[in-house]
C-alpha cells in the first residue's frame, strides 16, 4: 500500500499487562484513516501499511512509536485562581482548558496545594508501550492532500 490510501481497520489495543484500553470491535465500527497522513500514531500507521485486506497482525509499540515519552517540562504548577471558584479538585482527574494560542488542552491533576494545582500536560498515553491486534478490513482510493 502507499501513503494517501484510505484504509479501514479493526483493532484491539492493550497495555503490557493485558488491560484493554480501546477496541474498534467493541464499538462495532472500524477505524478509517488515510495512510501516512499523521491521523494515527506512527507505529500503528506503519503496521497497517504492510497488511493485505483480511490479514491480521499483532504489534508491540514502544512509547516512542506511539504517543512519545513523558516530557518532564509538561508538569506545571498553576494558580488555583485559574479555575472556577466552585471547581472540585481531585488528584487524577482530567481537566480541559484553552491554550494561549486558542487551541484546546487536556491535563491531569497531579497535586492540589493551598494556592496552586499541579498539572500533567503530557498525553495520557505518553510513556506507555502499547499492543495492538490489527485487521485490515478495506483499502480505498488514494486521496491527494494538495
> Which is nearest to 8 in space by CA: 132, 135, 131, 145?
135
For 112, other C-beta atoms within 10 Å of its C-beta total 13
Residue 6 CA to residue 138 CA, distance in Å, equals 8
pLDDT number for residue 105? 87
Structural domain that includes position 15: 5-68+125-142
State the pLDDT confidence band at 2, using cuts at 50, 70 and 90. Answer: confident
- How far, CA to CA in Å, does 134 sit from each of 106, 125, 141? 28, 19, 20
Q: What is the pLDDT of residue 76?
A: 94
Higher pLDDT, 78 or 99: 78
CATH number at residue 92: 2.40.10.330
Over its C-alpha atoms, the chain yields an Rg (Å, rounded) of 19
Note whether 82 and 54 are same-domain residues.
Answer: no
Same domain as 106, residue 90:
yes
Which residues, other chains included, contact 22 with Cβ-Cβ below 8 Å and sequence gap of 6+? 11, 12, 13
User: Taking Cα atoms as reference points, which of 74, 60, 76, 75 lies closest to residue 128?
Assistant: 60
Going by C-alpha positions, the residue among 114, 120, 27, 13 that lies closest to residue 72 is: 120
Are both 76 and 64 inside the same structural domain?
A: no
CATH of residue 131's domain is 3.10.50.40
The reported pLDDT for the residue numbered 142 is 64
Residue-wise pLDDT tens digits, 43-53: 999 999 999 99
Residues 92 and 134 both lie in one domain = no
Indicate whether 50 and 98 sit together in one domain. no
- Is 48:138 a contact under the CB 8 Å cutoff? no
pLDDT tens track for 3-18 = 889 999 999 999 999 9
Same domain, residue pair 82 and 102: yes
> How many domains are there within the chain?
2
Residues 49, 16, single domain; the answer is yes
pTM of the shown model: 0.78
Amino acid at each position: 500500500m502507499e501513503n494517501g490510501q484510505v484504509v479501514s481497520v479493526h483493532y484491539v489495543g492493550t497495555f503490557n499487562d493485558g488491560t484493554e484500553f480501546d477496541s474498534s470491535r467493541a464499538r462495532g465500527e472500524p477505524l478509517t484513516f488515510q495512510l501516512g497522513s499523521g491521523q494515527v500514531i506512527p507505529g500503528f500507521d506503519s503496521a497497517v501499511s504492510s497488511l493485505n485486506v483480511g490479514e491480521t497482525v499483532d504489534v508491540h509499540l514502544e512509547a516512542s512509536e506511539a504517543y512519545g515519552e513523558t516530557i518532564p517540562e509538561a508538569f506545571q504548577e498553576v494558580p488555583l485562581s485559574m479555575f472556577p471558584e466552585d471547581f472540585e479538585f481531585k488528584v487524577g482527574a482530567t481537566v480541559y482548558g484553552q491554550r494561549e494560542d486558542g487551541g484546546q488542552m487536556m491535563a491531569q491533576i497531579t497535586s492540589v496545594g493551598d494556592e496552586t494545582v499541579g498539572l500533567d500536560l503530557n498525553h495520557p498515553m505518553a510513556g506507555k508501550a502499547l499492543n495492538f491486534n490489527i485487521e485490515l478490513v478495506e483499502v480505498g482510493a488514494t486521496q491527494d492532500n494538495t
